[in-house]
Copies of this chain bind each other. A is one copy, B any other.
């Protein structure tokens, strides 16, 4: 791609505001870059499993081990949020190429009576005493506990902070210094709301010093 200044277009705030709403949603959902994406597994008090794809997910801290999740207010009905708040425990499962279409399909608005596991053909897997379901097809699974909920008044989204209870993975991807080769595990990434991508490592770089 050319990098000369003349070929870049500057799109300002007023133009973004003037975009048709679906166009703007795609445009703005694209700008943060490639995203962490995974399936959140949860279960209701009535033991109904739920599975939902999330890409507003991020590393919050290593000690204590914490992850952050943004939940949109307009996901209706919000079964995932209800289940997480009721049970406190939930899972986050990386997505592999082999089942990304099924993972995407969990975004459909199924009624409360339908488990997305059954609807999409993904398999719930329970790990001993952990209450929430993992995705058996996933080779990288995280067990989480809800610690805090922050309601963000600026756009009515909900910011959840969860602590890492356990990580289930293929031991072969753990490198000597603790780095996990998630590419080797088959983890994929996403852009915007509907595009899925595999990755190719360029390089691991040494710790930067002046």
Contacts and interface: CB of A to CB of B under 8 A. Distances in A.
A191 B140 CA distance: 14
A9 B169 contact: yes
A182 B175 CA distance: 30
Interface in A129-164: 136-137, 139-142, 147-148, 150, 152, 154-155, 157, 159, 161, 164
A48 to B, nearest CB: 16
Nearest to A27: B178
A101 to B, nearest CB: 6
Given A33-B38, A63-B21, A168-B11, A205 B194 contact: yes
B180 A192 contact: yes
Main secondary structure of the interface of A (DSSP, over half): mixed
6 contacts: A8-B141, A8-B171, A13-B165, A16-B65, A106-B208, A194-B204
B150 A150 contact: yes
Contact of A1 (B34, B150, B184, B191): B184
A195 B201 CA distance: 7
The 9 closest A-B pairs by CB, nearest first: A26-B178, A23-B178, A33-B36, A30-B180, A34-B189, A197-B199, A28-B62, A108-B208, A61-B155
B178 A182 contact: no
A105 B170 CA distance: 31
How many copies of this chain does one complex carry? Answer: 2
A193 to B, nearest CB: 8
Given A30-B182, A196-B204, 10 more contacts: A2-B170, A11-B168, A25-B62, A32-B36, A32-B67, A35-B58, A36-B36, A66-B154, A183-B197, A189-B189
Contacts of A206: 194
Nearest to A28: B62
Contacts of A29: 59, 62
